[in-house]
Amino acid sequence: MTTDLSKIKFEYPNNVVKRYHLINYLIQKYQLTSYLEVGTRRVEDNFLKIKLSSESKESIEPNPETGNPTYQMTSDEAFEKLIQQNKKYDIIFIDGLHTEDQSFRDLQNALKCLTPSLNSFIMMHDCNPLHEFMQRPNYEVNGNYPAWNGLVWKTIVKFNHDTTHPFIARVVDTDWGCGIINLDVHTGKSDLKDEYLTYSYLAQNRQKLLNLISTTEFRQYY
């Protein structure tokens, strides 16, 4: 069964506030001093907009179109080096390969490289697909590359139902869904059910399943 792409709106309705606005807000408010970006294919999209000195920012990208990443290798390879070196960052932005396995692995590795503090953060991009086609497992479709959230949302759901850690993710309803992850010992968690990882359940329970918050609520929480 083919998808009629003409019927899909490839624009996110809440898109005034961008991911770099959220990141810079956190940097300024909490005086964060170190930043890692996972998936910096084009530095002008986000990396150059982060308001820290060039010495305070690092990036991971195996196939850059612009710029020179700090680690020109896969995120798995880069994180292996960073973990061995015990490097820590105050804020880590993940916008790498949007498959379910890779996004979950990137998040788990990022946690090992996060400064141990209540005021350190991980952000994940593309957490809120608004159409089932947008969460397809593969980017490429018949030689083309339509907009793609991938399956990052499943990483958010699984993470929020993992009772082995005190971190919580909330997804800001802007710029294709920006997941904010930090320590929150007061948030209770429930067991994960198989149905939670189906798109049909997401479509009916988006706000609760993703801890979806507005940009106004973002300022209230953070």
Look at residue 1 in the predicted model and tell me its pLDDT.
Answer: 44
- pLDDT, one tens digit per residue, over 25-73 is 999 999 999 999 999 999 999 999 999 999 999 999 999 999 999 999 9
Give the predicted TM-score (pTM) of the model: 0.95
Q: Classify 121 as helix, strand or coil.
A: strand
Q: Where are the beta strands (DSSP E) in 76-217?
A: 91-94, 121-124, 167-172, 178-183, 212-213
Assign domain 11-221 to a CATH class.
Answer: alpha beta
pLDDT above 90 covers a percentage of the chain that reads: 83
Q: What is the pLDDT of residue 186?
A: 66
pLDDT per position as a tens digit, 71-128: 999 999 999 999 999 999 999 999 999 999 999 999 999 999 999 999 999 999 999 9
Rounded Cα distance between 39 and 33, Å, is: 20
Where in the chain are the domains?
Answer: 11-221
| H or E segment to which residue 46 belongs | none
Residue-averaged pLDDT of the chain: 94
